[in-house]
Structure 1
Amino acid sequence: MHHVPTLDIRRYDSDRDAFVAELGAAYRQFGFCCISGHGIDRELIDGAYDAFRRFFALPDEVKRKYHVPGGGGARGYTPFKVETAKDSQYPDLKEFWHIGREIPRDSAFAAWMPPNLWPEEVPEFRSYGYGLYQALDALGSRVLRALALHIGLPEHYFADKTDQGNSILRPIHYPPITEENIPNVRAGAHEDINFITLLVGASAEGLEVLTREGTWLPITTQGDAIVVNIGDMLQRLTNHVYPSTTHRVVNPRNENARKPRYSVPFFLHPNPDVVLDPLPECVTPDNPRRYDTSLTAHEYLQQRLREIRLI
């Protein structure tokens, strides 16, 4: 039975070569790995989840004050059944909020990265939400260092390509399934758009990954482990050396389907002007270059947001 491995990121400092080899092998096979030993404070994670739950429990008309029409869901609140997985006929059974990077308003990227919104009804939302954003951003940068080494790049290759990334922390609420005959999927089968995604609190059942053999493999984490997977932008940049694997969230086949599910993925994006051409290190006779057109991260993101009906 295949399973997605859990690796302790502290081994990057104590046992680097072996850790990089094992991490790289996990991503080449699954596009997914679980990372433990990351040191993110449990109180920060629990405090953030509590603040997010309290926001989603607010009345619908209060939450909708923070919905930005025409904003593509970039910041603030996106209501239930808006986002639709690419090529899916059903909208996803979820509502969510987007927290983005805080950047100076005179930044070259300010037009693409609007200021954050914060719900006044839940005062702790801001400190916990942005605290978790920064912690996951830092952890993602550590994972990218190991991924860079695995494909023969300098350790800090990605540092100046992600330090102003249009990254998003997305608290999600999947309400309890109360209707019968509803599609058995809370979030349709999809691949992520970005570089890597870090998912905190995937302890609730439902997340499944499509293996190369075409079967759905459930992923739940133990202890402090965080699920980290490859997105389409990194797949493109590495010429598919690191695959962006199809995954979905299904309804549990037990009483947990009647319970709400909360999930907080962090989508780590490159800076908007990074060109996503395949890296020469990833183009070989066995893996010829797969992309001929040049695209920046921002152009790619816009194209994909249209496909999932957010813009």
Structure 2
Amino acid sequence: MDKLPVLSLNDDKHSFADAIGASFRKHGFALVRDHGLDADLVAKAWDKTREFFALPVEEKLRYDSSAGGGQRGYTAFGTEIAKDAKLHDLKEFWHVGRELASDSPLKDSMPANVWPDQPADFREIFEPLYAEFDRVGNIILSRIALHLGLPEDWFAPTVEDGNSILRLLHYPPVADAEPGAIRAGAHEDINLITLLLGAEEAGLQLLTREGNWIPANPPEGALVINVGDMLQRLTNHVLPSTTHRVINPASDRAAHSRYSMPYFLHLRSDFPIKTLDQCISEDNPNRYPEPMLADDYLHERLVEIGLIKA
């Protein structure tokens, strides 16, 4: 069976750039250990995630985010649906976004964060964890830049104050699930890259170029990192955004919840996604001759997955 390589962020930056680039070109995914996220902060975040989703539904719905397109706060079970899917995903989630300065020119493009009254210290845990994901994500982007033949810091201004989102995901037990419904239907991510914790629990699968579903199960504590549609567009599909899903567990795990924590790293809202010159060739002509603002692209995709109305 085709398997994803496990990479170490401790490797020489050029070696890592070559390795993650090769994995992305083949799979659209990579598994990365030694990423340096604050382990103590991550452990506390898992505790707070479980505590929040254990609250009564009525309490969680106090922070319902449907009016804001699900961009901040709580999105209830059975709300999100994969593009072109018939049944809603079997999940609920919470979104933490960026805290912008009061005078930021991007203030109008991003909703303010919502913070729950309980569990205690929720904000105190997730604000610094968001910053940690942002830090590690920028290191990964610097390696991707090297792979693409760009300056190491090329992505830094493109994601500065970007509309990145930390999602806390709860997939409840599925013993009584509607026939045909799964935890997350086949989809691609909207953003630049995704950094995912919690995929050690089986279920995440990606679709290979040959049309086979293979598991993406990293070593304990490692990250699953995948290309999003914005990076695919930027690179003219040199780095492909790969279809993936979360299937329901085998019967012995059907009565158990599954938790994960993806960080969707986004471009700045005002960044024009314009195909990189080095990703255009006679064999790979420019698929996207017209640039598109990142915020417009995000809005278009949120409509497709049912989080906002056209």
The question of a shared fold, defined as TM-score above 0.5 by the shorter chain, is answered with yes
Alignment of 1:158 with 2:155, yes or no, is yes
Closer/same/farther in 2, CA of residues 184 and 217 from structure 1, 3 Å limit: farther
C-alpha separation in 2, matches of 1:300 and 1:17: 31
Q: Which amino acid aligns with 2:8?
A: D
Q: Percent identity?
A: 49
1:180 deviation in Å?
5.5
Q: Which residue matches 1:8?
A: 8
Q: Which residue matches 2:140?
A: 143
1:254 deviation in Å?
3.0
Closer/same/farther in 2, CA of residues 180 and 122 from structure 1, 3 Å limit: closer
1:163 deviation in Å?
1.2
Secondary structure of the residue that 1:170 maps to in structure 2? strand
Alignment of 1:233 with 2:268, yes or no, is no
Q: Which residue matches 1:190?
A: 187
Closer/same/farther in 2, CA of residues 150 and 66 from structure 1, 3 Å limit: same
Please say if residues 190 and 301 of structure 2, whose CA atoms lie closer than 8 Å, have aligned partners that are also in contact.
yes
Q: Which amino acid aligns with 1:2?
A: D
Q: Which residue matches 1:55?
A: 52
Closer/same/farther in 2, CA of residues 224 and 181 from structure 1, 3 Å limit: closer
Alignment of 1:251 with 2:248, yes or no, is yes
Q: 1:82 aligns with which of 73, 79, 84?
A: 79
Superposed CA RMSD in Å reads: 1.1
1:181 deviation in Å?
5.1
Alignment of 1:114 with 2:104, yes or no, is no
Q: Which residue matches 1:278?
A: 275
Alignment of 1:205 with 2:187, yes or no, is no
Q: Which residue matches 1:68?
A: 65
Please say if residues 95 and 167 of structure 2, whose CA atoms lie closer than 8 Å, have aligned partners that are also in contact.
yes
Q: Which residue matches 2:99?
A: 102
C-alpha separation in 2, matches of 1:257 and 1:165: 37
C-alpha separation in 2, matches of 1:172 and 1:212: 28
Q: Which amino acid aligns with 2:130?
A: Y
Higher mean alpha-carbon deviation, 241-250 vs 32-41, is at: 32-41
Where in structure 2 are the equivalents of 1:290-309 lying within 5 Å?
290-309=287-306
Where in structure 2 are the equivalents of 1:31-46 lying within 5 Å?
31-46=28-43
Higher mean alpha-carbon deviation, 37-46 vs 148-157, is at: 37-46
1:208 deviation in Å?
0.1
1:184 deviation in Å?
5.1
Q: Which amino acid aligns with 2:2?
A: H
Q: Which amino acid aligns with 1:8?
A: S
Unmatched runs of 5 consecutive residues or more in structure 2: none
Q: Which residue matches 2:16?
A: 19
CA deviation vs aligned residue, 1:206-257 (integer Å, no higher than 9, x gap): 0000000100001111133100100000000000010000000001123112
